[in-house]
């Protein structure tokens, strides 16, 4: 593959799905800078209506878009359809969020005139998207960004350009001008060029902590540029006193192995009370043994597909072997039946006896199990990470959950629910190296426009009551 071209391959088959030329960043930024003032000058109601038309275009193309997502990411088509439904649902959620969090307000200032709070768009925003949810997650930035009046340059993951192209086509068919939403195909070099470009007013990034930290470091001397980072997690799921072992096992399997473990909120560490260890781990293993791993359109439908590519599968295999060779004990081995394709079976490994557990995000279907005796020890283990995205407590009583909620460092804290699957109507984000305190989801309205405070009177009126000599 030449540097001037990007090729997307289907993970499940290795077949070429899409190819296209690398985009021109300077040209895209120039076009966006010229297009956004007219877009920002449109009435808010007009922008909202055009986004509703976008939702209708996505509905029309729903099956085609889901098929493209499934082929390009390898995820089961049932999951790809859910992703498309979430793109549609995001429009009304973003409209409500704009009204609630970025609406106009009048403040009472008595004799000092009127005071008002309004919001302005930043200008040109670069959206750098991930491969695991190539439509849903970028849409979470693009939709509120457009409602707020920004122009968007969307640089998708080089592993998911076909989905991005289909998504942008829906924006244009809805009547949103070509210069207001642009697609720039490329790899890390194009992403960096966009992030550093003087004509870009904000960078909205979703992806790995490594890349996010690099972006943050490069832009540290540019406080005038908005930076929003939604990064990964080394997420804990704690199981405490519960008689419902089978239900707990299902929640754990959903958390750890949905999307082949390729969610930023996927459970990476299962922290379990010693008294529950044997029955719980047996139930989780039995359920994981039943998981169907297959291609997106297989019948019966698979629970999970391959990881994104062979390089990812190689890295996960090496990571599992590292855990084994440094004190981990395999409960369920990571198996790759075909070395030419990135299909992996779910893996479970007890890492209780490891002297040092690597604090890394293993972005795939590997679950580490840690046995503890005391609840405070469980919380300590849950917090033994630089990340802080998602955490869940399974079992326990309301007092246990209150302690867990108060003491666990994470932006998503659940009780008797999986670590994955946050509501569209809630904020989403983490602390530590999982983000930079700019929650996405419902709170995306907060960073897509900046507040402007105004003190206003129709005629000038003033007096100085102290410190002047008499005439």
Distance, in Å, from the CA atom of 349 to the CA atom of 333, rounded to the nearest integer, reads 8
Q: Residue 254: name the closest of 232, 235, 273, 279 by CA.
A: 235
Token pair 């190296």 in the structure block, residue: 433
Is 264 an active-site residue?
Answer: yes
Cβ contacts of residue 208 below 8 Å, gap of 6+?
Answer: 231, 232, 361, 363
Q: Which residues pair with 272 in a beta bridge?
A: 239, 371
Catalytic, out of 98, 170, 264, 448 = 264
Query: How far does the chain reach from its first CA to its final CA, in angstroms?
Result: 83
Is 456 a catalytic site residue? no
Active-site residue among 72, 230, 361, 381?
230
CA distance 383 to 399: 19
Tokens of 164: 């991005």
Q: Name which of 390, 404, 434 is nearest 258 in CA terms.
A: 390
CA separation for the pair 198, 219 (Å, rounded): 11
Q: Residue length, the chain? A: 471
Catalytic residues: 230, 264
């Amino acid at each position: 593959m030449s540097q001037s071209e990007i090729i997307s391959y289907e993970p499940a088959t290795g077949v070429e799905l899409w190819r296209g030329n690398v985009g021109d960043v300077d040209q895209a930024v120039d076009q966006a800078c010229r297009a956004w003032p007219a877009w920002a000058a449109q009435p808010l109601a007009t922008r909202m209506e055009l986004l509703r038309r976008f939702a209708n275009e996505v509905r029309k193309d729903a099956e085609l878009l889901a098929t493209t997502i499934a082929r390009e990411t390898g995820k089961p088509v049932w999951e790809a359809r859910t992703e498309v439904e979430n793109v549609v649902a995001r429009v009304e959620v973003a409209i409500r969020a704009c009204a609630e969090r970025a609406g106009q307000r009048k403040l009472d200032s008595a004799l000092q005139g009127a005071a008002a709070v309004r919001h302005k768009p930043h200008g040109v925003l670069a959206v750098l998207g991930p491969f695991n949810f190539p439509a849903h997650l970028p849409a979470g930035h693009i939709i509120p960004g457009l409602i707020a009046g920004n122009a968007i340059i969307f640089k998708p993951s080089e592993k998911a350009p076909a989905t991005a192209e289909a998504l942008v086509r829906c924006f244009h068919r809805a009547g949103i001008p070509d210069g207001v939403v642009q697609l720039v195909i490329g790899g890390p070099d194009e992403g960096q060029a966009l992030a550093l470009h003087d004509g870009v007013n904000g960078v909205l990034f979703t992806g790995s902590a490594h890349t996010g930290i690099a972006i943050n470091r490069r832009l540290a001397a540019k406080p005038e540029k908005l930076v929003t980072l939604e990064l990964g997690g080394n997420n804990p799921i704690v199981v405490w006193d519960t008689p419902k072992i089978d239900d707990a096992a299902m929640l754990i399997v959903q958390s750890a192995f949905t999307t082949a473990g390729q969610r930023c909120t996927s459970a990476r560490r299962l922290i379990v009370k010693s008294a529950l260890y044997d029955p719980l781990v047996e139930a989780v293993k039995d359920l994981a043994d039943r998981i169907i791993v297959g291609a997106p359109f297989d019948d019966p439908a698979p629970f999970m597909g391959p990881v994104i590519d062979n390089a990812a599968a190689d890295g996960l295999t090496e990571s599992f072997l590292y855990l084994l060779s440094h004190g981990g004990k395999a409960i369920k081995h990571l198996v790759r039946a075909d070395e030419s394709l990135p299909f992996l079976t779910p893996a479970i490994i007890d890492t209780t006896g490891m002297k040092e557990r690597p604090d890394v995000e293993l972005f795939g279907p590997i679950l580490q199990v840690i046995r503890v005796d005391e609840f405070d020890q469980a919380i300590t283990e849950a917090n033994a990470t630089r990340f802080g995205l998602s955490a869940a407590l399974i079992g326990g009583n309301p007092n246990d959950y209150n302690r867990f909620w108060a003491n666990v460092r994470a932006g998503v804290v659940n009780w008797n629910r999986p670590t994955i699957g946050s509501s569209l109507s809630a904020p989403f984000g983490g602390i530590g190296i999982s983000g930079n305190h700019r929650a996405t989801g419902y709170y995306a309205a907060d960073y897509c426009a900046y507040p402007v405070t105004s003190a206003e009177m129709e005629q000038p009126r003033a007096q100085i009551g102290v410190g002047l000599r008499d005439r």
